[in-house]
């Protein structure tokens, strides 16, 4: 039987209501998935939502560390990752043993981790941050010495805004955002001189330095939706360009780079979501009580300091 996109969406909406499934979608998911989600947000918003959601089953349309975060915050719930192959290369960049060694050598430092880390690695961290909460949280940490992992680009951006702290960085980053380069900026500025350039702090510092606004995915969307300018160059995953075109059809949105596509975020399809609500797809996230307990401390600390 052939189904249209709208028929698949209608079936998902019906089944999720019957089965009391809450669908969470990261902002980088495609528009057809957005339309069936109960909540759409950036990494910080999704974590807050995960700790409050009332449904017994939560379906995460995003990448693995996001589903793990939901499970850590709501261990009693059944948490499903819509597409098991959707990982985040940055979250898997740091080795547990190297991190353990670093932590013992720098015992007077507070270890702050971008939430894009595995649950295993979170066990070694004191506090998590997201791109929208990072500056506030780092400022609120009761220690001047911070070891920030794994994204040195986000870390550099934080360090420039919190100069009163000594922030040590490790070499890691998002392969998707690092594809944006100077040629992309020169080309976009030349073709669209009137447009404002909005970028994510996961971009290289040389890109961030030339932006008119720097923020998380939802901060970029809010800025563009509320701003008076009629055109915006978007320097983050290109699904944000698509979403902005739907929400503000009278404005013009230009991707800073055609290559800024996260293939992991794009791995999840509407059919994956359909199969998950039907009970035939996805992967249930299972974690030991010890892993949940140990990795939860730094997420709770993030929610406390980020309030
Ligand atoms: P935010 O959701 O914090 O904007 O981060 C973007 C991202 O790369 C998520 O993986
Ligand atoms: Fe990971 Fe970058 Fe993709 Fe986000 S955009 S999931 S940080 S690879």
Taking each helix axis from N to C terminus, what angle separates 289-305 and 64-73, rounded to the nearest 10 degrees?
Answer: 90
Sheet of strand 196-199: strand arrangement: 213-214, 196-199, 231-235, 252-255
DSSP 179: G
**230 and 205, same structural domain?**
yes
Residue 204 tokens read as 């290289």
pLDDT at 200: 97
Q: What is the CATH number of the domain that holds 297?
A: 3.40.50.10800
Structural domain contains residue 260: no
pLDDT at 231: 98
Atom of ligand 2 nearest to the CA of 63: 6
What is the Å distance from ligand 1's center to 118 Cα? 14
Structural domain contains residue 240: yes
Mean pLDDT of the chain: 95
Give residue-wise pLDDT tens across range 130-185: 998 999 999 999 999 999 999 999 999 999 999 999 999 999 999 999 999 999 99
- As for how many domains the chain has, the answer is 3
Structural domain contains residue 273: yes
Query: 231 near 195, Cβ under 8 Å?
Result: yes
CA atoms lying within 13 Å on the CB side of residue 239: 25
**226 and 149, same structural domain?**
no
Direct distance between the N- and C-terminal alpha carbons of the chain, in angstroms, rounded to an integer: 49
Q: Does residue 48 register a pLDDT over 90?
A: no
pLDDT at 247: 95
Structural domain contains residue 25: yes
* Phi, psi for 235 (deg, rounded to 5): -105, 65
Structural domain contains residue 142: yes
Query: 305 near 112, Cβ under 8 Å?
Result: no
State whether residue 40 is helix, strand or coil. strand
The preferred substitution site among 28, 29, 235 for testing ligand 1, maximizing ligand atoms within 8 Å of CB, is 28
**296 and 162, same structural domain?**
yes
**170 and 299, same structural domain?**
yes
Q: How confident is the model at residue 55 (pLDDT cuts 50, 70, 90)?
A: confident
Q: Does 43 sit in the ligand 2 pocket, CB within 6 Å? A: no
Q: Does residue 283 register a pLDDT over 90?
A: yes
Residue 240, H or E segment: helix 239-247
Kindly identify the ligand whose nearest atom is closest to the C-alpha of 130. 1
**158 and 300, same structural domain?**
yes
What is the DSSP pairing of strand 283-284 with strand 78-81?
Answer: antiparallel
Average pLDDT over residues 233-253: 97
**166 and 115, same structural domain?**
yes
**299 and 163, same structural domain?**
yes
Residue 34 tokens read as 């957005």
Q: How confident is the model at residue 2 (pLDDT cuts 50, 70, 90)?
A: confident
The preferred substitution site among 40, 92, 130 for testing ligand 1, maximizing ligand atoms within 8 Å of CB, is 130
**94 and 65, same structural domain?**
no
| E-only strand ranges, the chain | 21-26, 39-41, 57-61, 78-81, 110-114, 127-129, 145-149, 166-169, 196-199, 213-214, 231-235, 252-255, 283-284
Average pLDDT over residues 259-263: 98
pLDDT at 43: 81
Q: How confident is the model at residue 7 (pLDDT cuts 50, 70, 90)?
A: very high
Atom of ligand 2 nearest to the CA of 90: 1
Structural domain contains residue 218: yes
Q: Which domain holds residue 96?
A: 90-175+292-305
Give residue-wise pLDDT tens across range 206-221: 999 999 999 999 999 9
**69 and 12, same structural domain?**
yes
**81 and 62, same structural domain?**
yes
Atom of ligand 1 nearest to the CA of 200: 4
Give residue-wise pLDDT tens across range 18-47: 999 999 999 999 999 999 999 999 887 887
DSSP 265: G
**205 and 159, same structural domain?**
no
pLDDT at 187: 98
Atom of ligand 2 nearest to the CA of 237: 5
Structural domain contains residue 13: yes
**209 and 145, same structural domain?**
no
pLDDT at 51: 74
Cα–Cα distance, 197 to 205 (Å, whole number): 14
Structural domain contains residue 77: yes
């Amino acid at each position: 039987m052939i189904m249209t996109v709208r028929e698949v969406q209608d079936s998902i909406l019906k089944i999720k209501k019957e089965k009391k499934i809450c669908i969470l979608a990261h902002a980088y998911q495609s528009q057809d998935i957005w339309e069936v989600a109960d909540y759409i947000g950036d990494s910080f918003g999704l974590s807050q939502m995960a700790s409050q959601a009332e449904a017994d089953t939560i379906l995460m349309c995003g990448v693995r560390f996001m589903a793990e975060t939901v499970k850590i915050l709501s261990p009693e719930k059944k948490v499903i990752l819509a597409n098991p192959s959707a990982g985040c290369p940055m979250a898997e960049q740091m080795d547990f043993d190297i991190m353990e060694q670093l932590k013992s050598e720098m015992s007077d430092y507070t270890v702050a981790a971008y939430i894009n880390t595995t649950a295993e690695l979170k066990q070694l961290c004191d506090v998590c941050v997201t791109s929208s909460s990072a500056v506030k949280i780092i400022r609120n940490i009761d220690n001047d010495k911070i070891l920030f992992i794994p994204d040195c680009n986000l870390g550099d951006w934080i360090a420039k805004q919190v100069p009163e702290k000594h922030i040590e960085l490790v070499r890691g980053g998002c392969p998707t955002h690092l594809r944006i380069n100077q040629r992309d900026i020169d080309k976009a500025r030349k073709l669209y001189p009137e447009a404002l350039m909005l970028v994510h702090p996961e971009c290289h510092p040389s890109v961030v330095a030339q932006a008119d606004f720097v923020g998380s995915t939802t901060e970029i969307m809010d800025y563009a939706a509320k701003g008076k300018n009629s055109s915006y160059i978007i320097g983050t995953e290109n699904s944000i360009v698509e979403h902005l075109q739907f929400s503000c059809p009278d404005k013009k949105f230009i991707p800073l780079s055609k290559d800024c596509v996260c293939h992991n975020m794009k791995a999840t399809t509407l059919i994956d979501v359909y199969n998950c609500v039907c009970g035939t797809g996805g992967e249930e996230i299972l974690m030991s009580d010890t892993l949940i307990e140990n990795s939860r401390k730094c997420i709770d600390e993030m929610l406390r300091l980020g309030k």
